[in-house]
Structure 1
């Protein structure tokens, strides 16, 4: 085994803090989220929501796999740095394609996605030749090459585009939990998939802040385009309050033990779970971003069914993801957050009788009650060993 090849891998004493290039990559992902909110607003229907979800899934998977990549490899290595820069460019290209990704820009979207995963795996497989951990990279490369064919077939033939992409993204999400199994090469062992919990916890927090930042930018741009009347100003303040409450609900009750859970649990089983649940929460922020523009621009209007559902879906998706994250870490349910979900459902059912401003105020009230009750419960009941 060559020591030169081994230097590509993570060093034992490498700092857990995110590197500059990781944060730079997050900025590109923030642009992707903004593009997705535009797609969602362009078609307020179940079909529009499904289309947005189909585009969010591969974008998020680029972020998640890149987070694992930057944890497995030495971020000071020039090849690793070059790959992070290349992935950032790839995400920007995917983001540019998002508005017409299922149409005329399908090749750009799918091609950039495949190039990111296959290109990164090829470079690391070549660099690690002769090293035992090369097998992990070869398994990942084989699967991304296989699903890449589905992505490219979908880009080439519009008639099969959606089913091919759905199948591809389903495989991309499923095979990591199985250890990327390959005939004769087997599947990756837990030691090969080990991740540093504190580094991953920090990365999830940072990307969630980026998502909230995109929401703030959307609200600010929408508010600046209005006449700053009382109704518009009230809507803007409600969106800001929702953003603050969602941020607080994400990080509290304090605990902060996601990192410890990642370190302690079987990485083959638990390693992908935080990525799946953060996807749900990020989807909620994207929905809330779209709703923010509607509420601030048209606060007094009674929304259509799509506008009402969008306004409630953002907080609902976030709470669902956050409840599930608490459950898998604590092995128990967070009742204040869980009870917020039926309250939001009631708002959705009664939403046709309210202006968008009223729906926004009601959802903020639910988030406030959930946040306050959660804080009270955290003080009244001792936290479990793993926190929340």
Structure 2
């Protein structure tokens, strides 16, 4: 296990990486579904923090393996088995999402996270043993990741002793910051040999997974509506608008290829990579919001029409804002792109206020039209 070259030609995601991603489909689906239920029950505010916490565990585990694989993917028997161990951890984490959302019980999620991390620690130890040039970096990763697992189980102990939600939240924030700091500390002796175009492709694939989850969430809501009520024009209109919003999100994300920019500015990779947490969370939340929008066409929800509109508008606006920030981290800032993003964000956040007057369907149609407008202007700016 030695570092792969950073300029390896035609580097692409392996079949194993694609299989690995499929396990995250289950985890993302579980957390999106639970968040959608919280929104529909009128508890969106109470559901945001658990959603962001669970999604952080999912994203961080995926991200750590992705960057490791970009540097050390040997695709031999040991590597494949340890990857399978991490996949098992993802499935265990996904199984614990309902308990965390309903009862605040994070035991199963933390256990699944531990299994994932044990697989990654083993890979880093192997890299440290077999690649002398990067030994200090690899061992630092193994030590940092291992030590933090004690902290996560310490947080479970605090919960068992009756600690307040505020204390548990502070503990989570501290541990999350320490997790994010491990790569910064570990790579001081020597940076890992990640491949810029491979990393850009991996992030693009995870973006497509999240968009697919949003399609699945909305499709499931449509299926339930069809089974329980008569099909109506409102249902088709909401589903169509949701598809347009998701397609516009895909268009915007892939408008500017990240690979060449990461190749030129490797020193900005942390800001680009870490910025995707909010970006990915916004896409997952958008899926939950679209599911609620479809549910509203056939059910009486414990949520006002304005609240249902904001369930779509806030994630969509957040996605545009965070996408601009992520793009800016590796590219020269553009006033034209900033103006387009700001205009789209302001319109998206203002539209739900008109819902009582124009109705939910019309509001969603205007939201979709706004997203299309942002795509059109951003594409024109990019061509210029």
Q: What per-residue deviation string (whole Å, max 9, x for no partner) do you get for residues 159-205 of structure 1? A: 254332222112112342x333xxxxxx524x523321100011011
In structure 2, the CA distance between the partners of 1:271 and 1:303, relative to structure 1 (3 Å rule), is: same
Distance 1:29 1:319 in 2: 24
Q: How much does 1:108 deviate? A: 1.6
Distance 1:363 1:251 in 2: 20
Q: How much does 1:109 deviate? A: 0.8
Q: What per-residue deviation string (whole Å, max 9, x for no partner) do you get for residues 51-86 of structure 1? A: 101111111001111110111113422222222222
- The structure 2 residue matched to 1:239, chosen from 237, 242, 249, is 242
Mapping of residues 27-38 of structure 1, within 5 Å: 27-38=22-33
- The structure 1 residue matched to 2:363, chosen from 359, 363, 376, is 359
CA contact (8 A) 1:8 1:77 kept: no
CA contact (8 A) 1:153 1:161 kept: no
Distance 2:117 2:279 in 1: 24
Indicate the structure whose relative CO is greater, using CA pairs within 8 Å and at least 6 residues apart: 2
In structure 2, the CA distance between the partners of 1:99 and 1:166, relative to structure 1 (3 Å rule), is: farther
Q: What is aligned with 1:343?
A: 347
- The structure 1 residue matched to 2:285, chosen from 265, 284, 287, is 287
Higher helix share: 2
Q: What is aligned with 2:34?
A: 39
User: How many aligned positions are there?
Assistant: 361
- Secondary structure at the aligned position of 1:228 is classed as coil
Q: What is aligned with 1:113?
A: 113
CA contact (8 A) 1:308 1:359 kept: yes
Distance 1:292 1:115 in 2: 33
- Secondary structure at the aligned position of 2:191 is classed as helix
Q: What is aligned with 2:175?
A: 168
- Secondary structure at the aligned position of 1:193 is classed as coil
Q: How much does 1:347 deviate? A: 1.6
In structure 2, the CA distance between the partners of 1:89 and 1:152, relative to structure 1 (3 Å rule), is: same
Distance 1:23 1:167 in 2: 32
CA contact (8 A) 1:124 1:137 kept: yes
In structure 2, the CA distance between the partners of 1:154 and 1:351, relative to structure 1 (3 Å rule), is: farther
Q: What is aligned with 2:316?
A: 315
Q: What is aligned with 2:70?
A: 71
Provide the alpha-carbon RMSD of the alignment. Answer: 2.3
Q: What is aligned with 1:184?
A: none
Segments of structure 2 that go 5 or more residues without pairing to the other structure are none
Q: How much does 1:337 deviate? A: 2.5
CA contact (8 A) 2:127 2:138 kept: no
212-221 vs 35-44, which deviates more?
35-44
CA contact (8 A) 2:292 2:308 kept: yes
Distance 2:182 2:129 in 1: 23
TM-score by length of 2: 0.86
Segments of structure 1 that go 5 or more residues without pairing to the other structure are 1-6, 181-186, 382-388
Distance 1:75 1:329 in 2: 29
CA contact (8 A) 1:150 1:168 kept: yes
89-98 vs 14-23, which deviates more?
14-23
Q: How much does 1:228 deviate? A: 2.3
Q: What is aligned with 1:384?
A: none
- Secondary structure at the aligned position of 2:317 is classed as helix
Mapping of residues 1-388 of structure 1, within 5 Å: 7-10=1-4, 13=8, 16-44=11-39, 45-101=44-100, 103=103, 105-126=105-126, 128-129=128-129, 131-158=132-159, 159=163, 160-176=167-183, 178-180=184-186, 188-189=188-189, 191-226=190-225, 227-252=230-255, 255-256=256-257, 258-267=258-267, 270-299=268-297, 303=304, 306-333=307-334, 334=337, 335-379=339-383, 381=384
Q: How much does 1:42 deviate? A: 2.8
In structure 2, the CA distance between the partners of 1:11 and 1:263, relative to structure 1 (3 Å rule), is: closer
